[in-house]
Structures are given as structure tokens and as C-alpha cells.
């Protein structure tokens, strides 16, 4: 028995060398029960800081902050601000810029309709003479 143990190599250093420090930290975090920490470390190790922040935000603060961070990372600040306003102040305030745009577009359509009506009235007035 003792001869067999002495001959068999310790697999732990080989495993650490194969997986690297990040893999070892991930396994340690999972073993200690911190799956969120493990996912964060794995995301940072793979080079995805945005994904790591997303996972942390989901764990700590909820989906609203996580969506904000992902929007900043992927699409830019404007969409991130929209999502933040949607989450913090409600859908009405978040959709305010869209409503203003639609209102102005509606005013433009109303102006065109007004010109048409005025033209029709002018035609009717001239034909009545």
C-alpha cells in the first residue's frame, strides 16, 4: 500500500496547471457555495468584464441594474439611460422622448392636413364665385 501511494502522483498540482489559476478559483468558489462569485471569476478570466459585471448586478441589485450595464457595454449610453429611467422612474418617463417625437410627427401631419383643407376651401370658394 505504501509503495503504491508513493508511486501515484498527486493530481492536484497537475489539475491546477492544466486549468490555471482561474479554473482553480472557480472550483474553490463553487465548493464554498458561492456560485455567483464563481461565475464572476470565470467571466473575468475569460476576458468578459461586462458579462462579469452583469452577473454581479443580477446577484446583488437585480435585473434593472444588470440591463443598464449590458446596454452600456453593447449599445451605448442612450439606451442605457432609457433602461435606467424605465426601471427607476417608470415607463411613462422613459417613453417621454418617444412621445415627444411622435407628437412632433403628428403636428407635421396636422400641418399638411391643414394646408390640404385650406386648399380645398380655396377651390370651393373660387368655384362658388
pLDDT tens sequence for the chain (129 residues): 455 445 555 556 665 555 566 666 666 655 665 666 666 666 666 656 666 666 666 665 556 666 666 666 666 666 656 656 555 555 544 455 555 555 555 555 555 555 556 666 665 666 665
Nearest to 38 by CA among 47, 28, 46: 28
Q: Give the count of alpha carbons within 13 A of 52, CB side only.
A: 13
**d(Cα 22, Cα 27) in Å, to the nearest integer?**
9
Question: In residues, how long is the chain?
Answer: 129
Residues 6+ apart with CB under 8 A from 87: 64, 65, 67, 68
Amino acid at each position: 500500500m505504501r509503495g503504491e501511494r508513493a508511486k501515484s502522483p498527486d493530481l492536484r498540482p497537475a489539475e491546477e496547471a492544466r486549468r490555471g489559476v482561474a479554473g482553480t478559483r472557480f472550483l474553490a468558489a463553487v465548493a464554498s457555495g458561492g456560485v455567483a462569485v464563481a461565475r464572476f471569476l470565470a467571466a473575468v478570466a475569460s476576458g468578459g468584464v461586462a458579462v462579469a459585471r452583469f452577473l454581479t448586478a443580477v446577484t446583488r441589485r437585480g435585473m434593472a441594474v444588470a440591463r443598464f450595464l449590458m446596454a452600456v457595454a453593447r449599445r451605448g449610453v442612450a439606451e442605457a439611460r432609457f433602461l435606467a429611467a424605465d426601471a427607476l422612474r417608470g415607463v411613462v418617463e422613459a417613453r417621454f422622448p418617444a412621445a415627444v417625437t411622435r407628437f412632433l410627427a403628428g403636428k407635421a401631419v396636422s400641418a399638411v392636413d391643414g394646408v390640404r383643407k385650406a386648399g380645398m376651401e380655396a377651390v370651393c370658394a373660387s368655384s362658388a364665385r
